[in-house]
Chains A and B, each alone.
Chain A
Amino acid sequence: MESLTQKGVDAQTFDLASTTVRELNQFLHHELDGPEYIEILNPDGQHSIAVGLDAPVTVDIHGHAGYFIAGMNKQASVTVHGNVGWSVGENIMSGSVLVKGNASECAGASGHGGLVVIEGDASSRCGISMKGCDIVVGGSVGHMSAFMAQAGHLVVCGDADHGLGDSLYEAVIYVRGEIHGLGADAQIEPMQESDYAKVAELLARAGFDHDPKTFKRVASARSLYHWNADHFQEY
């Protein structure tokens, strides 16, 4: 994925050293008039930048940003040219969020749709409780990623820490590197043609060049779905 400002398109600029995040978000929510390109400077770890967007706007954030960046995103394409804190793209509905650096915990948490791309590493609980979005991580993910993930795909080009896919529902995880431990009810399954196609599609959309054949599939064994009579109904 490439940001539009890199193509030389004029952008409207907000400098968060002199403008508040609230003013920026007010503008993004109420004053956008048709497709626009927004540049944000000096995020300096501030929270909630470009949350709640619902327009096909392109936003470039230059620098490291804080929590909840581009949360609840709908339609917009948001790029962070730096690292982000917790919960980037939380509850994303559609559109895309691209982080050129690393992401802290809970990237793409509860996302319903759209695409979250982390070019670097994502920390723990990446894709926790995702409900239909796609997440592609260029590096590795931390522990308990895709915990209780319900639908959608998490593609990890690097390694995954312990507890991967704990208590998964119907989301599917693809990992290229080493898996340091699966969570409860997660299992490695054979890749099907549909899996190779899905990985190839998501890698292409995220801008990564890997052979889909090098990925493993992790999905739910579904043993947590059913009442286990061997427990003598003690629960």
Chain B
Amino acid sequence: MCGIVGLLLKNGALNARLGELVTPMLASMSERGPDSAGLAVFAEQDQGEKFSLFAADSEFDWDALKHALDDEALVGKPGIVSQGRYARLTLDVEPDTLKHWLGEHFPMLHVLSAGHYIDIYKDAGHPAAIAERYGFTGLTGSHAIGHTRMATESAITPAHAHPFTAGEDFCLVHNGSLSNPYSIRRRLERRGIRFETDNDTEAACRFIEWRLGEGETLEDALEEGFSVLDGFYTLLMGTHDKLALVRDPFACKPAVVAETDDYVAIGSEYRALAHLPDVKNATLFEPKPEVIYSWNR
């Protein structure tokens, strides 16, 4: 069992309240997933290349990273805003270049996300504690995707928490279990795609990102996913301008959608949506199996 939540604001006036609205959604799913949690937040406009970083060492010195980047002749001026083990780095550099450089100089740092819109926060522990730790209620943006995890495969670590990401401005959360993640992984690795964990969801994330990288639309990639991904899944994905939702052919894992003129909200259960403004008058529906749902901001 896991909990997934998503909120896309159609009414830009609500963007300042994104964190305030989505945090109770995440916290209410704690009973579905008490061992780790994460949140991806998409900014309302292009903010240049930025990276969410996570330090394996809780005492990590973020100033040391800034000084080292300042000294690096090949790259521009870095901006770092840190919060404990998390930091957002703004720097005009290719993600692969940064990852390679970090691997050499700061191997204790993990790049959680890269892109112009996305920030990802994830950690092990109770979802409410993680929300508190990283100040989720104060976050702003146009849409967000969250996950509370109850691990049924692979370890409980910050890296194994969702959302998973690949490429830029793309993230995916998963409720369920895949039965063929290793065969997907072997096929992708033969194409030079690298994995960072042994988590089953990462296979789905990298498969879909690979198809996007090949020029497919998210909808086409998901259509292919139905024939490639085997197992149980409700998948919720975010790109810089949309949310997308699919369920496996048996719809074994739950999801419910509430839509108003102001927002579309997705949760594993209605409990996650019950506090949202005017949800009592929302259009509520349960997504059908093997149907692709997507919403643009």
Task: Write the residues of chain A forming the contact surface with B, with a CB cutoff of 8 angstroms.
Answer: 44-47, 63-64, 66-67, 83, 85-86, 102, 104-105, 123-124, 142-144, 161
Q: Complex: how many Å from CA A67 to CA B269?
A: 9
**Segment with Cβ contacts to A, from B73-81, B114-122, B186-194, B281-289:** B281-289
Q: Complex: how many Å from CA A144 to CA B256?
A: 19
Main secondary structure of the interface of A (DSSP, over half): loop
Quick one: which of B273, B285, B288, B289 contacts A45, CB cutoff 8 A? B273
Chain B residue, CB-CB nearest to A42: B274
Quick one: which of B280, B284, B288, B289 contacts A102, CB cutoff 8 A? B284
Q: Are B288 and A142 in contact (CB under 8 A)?
A: yes
B100 interface hit (Cβ, 8 Å): no
Number of interface residues of B (CB under 8 A): 17
CB A197 to nearest CB in B, in angstroms, measures 34
Query: Which B residues are in CB contact (< 8 Å) with A64?
Result: 270, 274, 284
Q: Complex: how many Å from CA A66 to CA B32?
A: 13
Query: Which A residues are in CB contact (< 8 Å) with B270?
Result: 44-45, 64, 66, 83, 85
A-B residue pairs in contact (CB < 8 Å), sample of 9:
A44-B274, A44-B275, A45-B271, A45-B274, A46-B271, A64-B284, A104-B254, A142-B286, A161-B288
Q: Complex: how many Å from CA A63 to CA B282?
A: 13
B 242-281 to A, binary, CB cutoff 8 A, 1 in contact else 0: 0000000011001010000000000001111111000010
Q: Complex: how many Å from CA A156 to CA B62?
A: 62
Query: Which B residues are in CB contact (< 8 Å) with A144?
Result: 250
Query: Which A residues are in CB contact (< 8 Å) with B250?
Result: 124, 143-144
Q: Are A104 and B274 in contact (CB under 8 A)?
A: no
Query: Which A residues are in CB contact (< 8 Å) with B251?
Result: 105, 123-124, 142-143
Q: Complex: how many Å from CA A119 to CA B250?
A: 24
CB A80 to nearest CB in B, in angstroms, measures 12
Query: Which B residues are in CB contact (< 8 Å) with A86?
Result: 254
Beyond A45-B269, A83-B270, A143-B251, is A104–B286 a contact (Cβ under 8 Å)? yes
Q: Complex: how many Å from CA A142 to CA B252?
A: 12
Q: Are A44 and B271 in contact (CB under 8 A)?
A: yes
Query: Which A residues are in CB contact (< 8 Å) with B286?
Result: 102, 104, 123, 142
